[in-house]
Amino acid sequence: MKRRQQRRVEAGAVQQTETGATISFTVLGPPVGKARARIVYREAMGIYKGYTPDKTRAVEGEIGYMAKGLWDGKPLLEGPVALMVKFYFPIPRSWSQKRQMLALNGELLPIVKPDVDNCVKLVKDALSMIVWRNDAQVVLVTGAKFYSDRPRTEIVVKVLEHP
């Protein structure tokens, strides 16, 4: 049986400025994308039942738990929010030294699954009802994928001023 990698927060901070709050933290471990919901037919009950895959639910819970530790006791954000996320994927060991160096220097970018939008969706869902009320409040999203010898996800949430 495959052992699930334990994720942990490396660093986190909440800053309050005149323009609003900013929360930032880093989740260690390879990035994970949001998997599609699965639907199964329950023959005994004669109904279809939908569920979220275990890996997706586990990672969402871990990210949410880390954010809750930083944001604990503060009210949910109400207005528009910007979300900036950087996903750092592990460099394949099977690659040549030259190719690994190109990846480390940012000259090779990961065009592998999961897609960046699925990774961002997982983060948005994980932070709903912990940092903001609804992920529809996220009006500006920046997501990028890179290679690194330290796989991680860097998350920054910034409150935007609205007129």
pTM of the predicted structure, to 2 decimals: 0.83
CB 21 within 8 A of CB 2: no
- Residues 57-93: b if buried by 16+ CB within 10 A, e if exposed: eebbebbbebbeebbeeeeebeebbbbbbbbbbbbee
Give the CATH fold of the 8-159 domain: 60s Ribosomal Protein L30; Chain: A; (3.30.1330)
Percent of the chain with pLDDT over 70: 86
**CA diameter of the chain:** 58
- Among 7-16, 53-62, 126-135, name the most confident range: 126-135
Give the chain's end-to-end CA distance (angstroms, integer): 54
Could you tell me the residue ranges of all domains in the chain? 8-159
**pLDDT per residue over 103-115, tens digit each?**
999 999 999 999 9
3-state secondary structure of 101: helix
- Classified as helix, coil or strand, 127 is helix
